[in-house]
Amino acid sequence: MNRKMTKKNMIKRMLTVAAGVAALTLVTAAAMAEEPRPFDREAYAKAKAEGKTVLVDFDASWCPVCKKQAEALPQVLKQDKFQRVVVFKADYDSQKELKKQLKITHQSTLVLFKGRKEVGREQGITTASAIGELLEKGL
C-alpha cells in the first residue's frame, strides 16, 4: 500500500512539474515579443540584411498621436504572428539623416520593411487593428 501511494505521489509531482514547465514556456514565448528599441543604425542594417520584418517608428516626445501609437503597438506585438517583428523607435527630431533617407515628412510615421524592401508605410494610425494590418504586409 505504501509503495502505491509513493507511485501516485510521484506521478502527481511529475504532472505538476510538467504543468509548470508548460506554463513557463508560454510566459517565455510572450516575453520574447520584440519590444520597441531606440533606433540603432547597425542593428537596423543587420535585421534588414537577415531578412527580418522591421518596423521603424518615427516618434516625437511632444506628439499626441505618437503617444497613442506607443500605447497600441505593444498590444499588437503580443500577438503570436508579430512576435518576430523588430521595432525601432527613431526620434523624429534628432534622426535627420534617417528621415532624409526614408523621405519622412511627419512624425508618427511607421515604415515597414521585409528584409531590405519597404513593404508598407502609414502616418498617423493609432489603433491596434490598423497597426496590425500594416505589420501583416511584412509577414
Say if pTM beats, i.e. exceeds, 0.85. no
Task: Render 89-114 in DSSP notation, one character per residue.
Answer: EEETTT-HHHHHHHT--SSSEEEEEE
Rg for the chain, CA atoms, rounded: 21
- What is the pLDDT, as a whole number, of residue 48? 95
Task: Compute φ and ψ for 111, nearest 5 degrees.
Answer: -120, 125
Distance (Å) of CA 19 to CA 12, 32, 48: 10, 20, 38
Helix 64-77 crosses helix 128-136 at what angle (to 10 degrees)? 60
Quick: pLDDT tens for 115-125.
999 999 999 99
